[in-house]
Each structure stands twice: as C-alpha cells, then as structure tokens.
Amino acid sequence: MGKDKNTEVRIYEAARKVFLKKGLAGARMQEIADEAGINKALLHYYFRNKEKLFEGIFNEVLLRLSEGVHGIFESEMDVLGKFKELVNIYMDVLLKNRYLPLFVLNEMNYNPERFSEIIREKIAIHLKKFLVQIQKEIDIGSIRACNPVHLLVHVLGLIIFPFVAYPVIKKMGGDELISEADDFLTERKHEVCLFIENAIKP
C-alpha cells in the first residue's frame, strides 16, 4: 500500500493545529487522527509516533523562518537596510503561515532546551555579527545611541506580536478601524519599517 500525498498533507495540517494548541507534550495521536478525519492505524502507517511527526513540522517551521535571513545578516547592507529586509521577509512568511508564532512560542515553553540548542548552533553567530554592526554604526553616529540587544528585541516584538495578538488588537481598534486581518498585517510591514527608521535615526 503506497502513501497518498493528499492524506499526508491532511495529517500535517491536522498535526499543526493540535501541536499549536497543546505542544508536543500535550498532543495525542488520536486527536491528530480525529482532526485529520482518519483512523489512528492509518496515522501510524504514515508516522510511527508523534515525535516523528512533530520533528517534520518543526523542521519545516525552522526552514521557513530561516529562509533568506542568513543572506541578510551576511550582506553589506547597513543596519536600517537589514532591519527592513528582516521585517519584509519575516512578515511575508508569517502572513502565509499564521500558526508559526504561536507554534514556536508554545514549543519554547514546553521545550526551551530545543530552542536554546538551535539558537546556539544556527542563529547566534549571525546575531552576534549583527549586534557588532549595530554598535559600530552607533559609534560613528549613523544611528542614535541605544542598547543593540534591546533594539533587536524591539524589532522582533514589532514583527511577531500582531500575529499572536490580532484578535485582541482588532477588539481594541474596533471593526470600523481594522476590518481585514490580511490588510492590517500587510500594512504593518510599512508601518514597522517606518517606525524603526524614525527610532534609530540620529
């Protein structure tokens, strides 16, 4: 019996929903099977256990989040240019994959060691170089004095928070001000870039 691609896609979509709500530790294979509309035996035929299924989704998440970022940090762009590219790439990815921020945040809480290891091995070296560049531009006066780590965290917060908290943001803004999530979140790209530019100019 061969594996059907459509069934595999349904399983991945169902698993994302369950893992998003409950993380790896709280998820059950029966819940994933029910969400996918298949029996548990068929789920086990495609994936032996939830760890294997989670690993596939987790690696996909990391791939989507890391696409293009390496090139940004290693480029010759100035700090503002890199921040703008970071905003555009991350927000484009998140607009197409709304589950990613909550998925990552949940798993950071359930399994912080996994993320610590990934950050050490794949991200830390690029971030350190970027923080050094920020400090150099502060020293020569091309951007205003600030703590580079705080600046980076501020920007990441500006990117991620609207995706995590959109239902609350819409309630605060009112339906007449924020009608469609896609329009609002797309506008955020421009607004965040403008905010960063105004925040760091000397």
Pair (53, 87) in one structural domain: no
**Whether 112 and 174 share a structural domain:** yes
> Which of 107, 120, 94, 101 has its CA nearest to residue 55?
107
**CATH number of residue 12's parent domain:** 1.10.10.60
**φ, ψ dihedrals at 174, nearest 5°:** 90, 145
Task: For residue 62, tell me if it sits in a domain.
Answer: no
Question: Do both 73 and 168 map to the same domain?
Answer: yes
Burial of 151 (0-12, 13-18, 19+ CB in 10 A): buried
Residue 33 domain-assigned (yes or no): yes
Q: How far is the C-alpha of 100 from the C-alpha of 179, rounded, in Å?
A: 22
Are 120 and 44 members of one domain? no
Residue 90 lies in a domain: yes
Q: Is 39 within a domain?
A: yes
Residues 53 and 90 in one domain: no
Domain-located, residue 196 = yes
Q: Do 73 and 166 belong together in one domain?
A: yes
| Co-location of 75 and 170 in the same domain | yes
Residue 107 lies in a domain: yes
175 three-state secondary structure: coil
* End-to-end alpha carbon distance in the chain: 65
Which residue range forms the structural domain that includes residue 135?
A: 67-200
Do 103 and 164 sit in the same domain of this protein?
Answer: yes
Q: Do 128 and 102 fall into the same domain? A: yes
Domain presence at residue 11: yes
- Residue 99 and residue 44 in one domain: no
Q: Assess contact for 40 and 124: CB atoms under 8 A.
A: no
Q: Is residue 100 part of a domain?
A: yes
Do 27 and 49 have their domain in common?
Answer: yes
Tens of pLDDT, residues 163-180: 888 777 767 766 655 567
Distance CA 18, CA 30 (A): 10
pLDDT digits (tens, 9 = 90+) for 129-161: 999 999 999 999 999 999 999 999 999 999 988
CATH number at residue 121: 1.10.357.10
**For the segment 22-48, what is each residue's pLDDT rounded down to a tens digit?**
777 788 999 999 999 999 999 999 988
Hey, what are 5's tokens?
Answer: 């691609």
One domain, residues 28 and 88: no
51-82 residue pLDDT tens: 888 878 777 777 766 766 778 888 899 999 99
pTM over 0.85: no
Q: What is the pLDDT of residue 2?
A: 60
Q: How many domains is the chain built from?
A: 2
Residue 1 pLDDT greater than 60, yes or no:
no
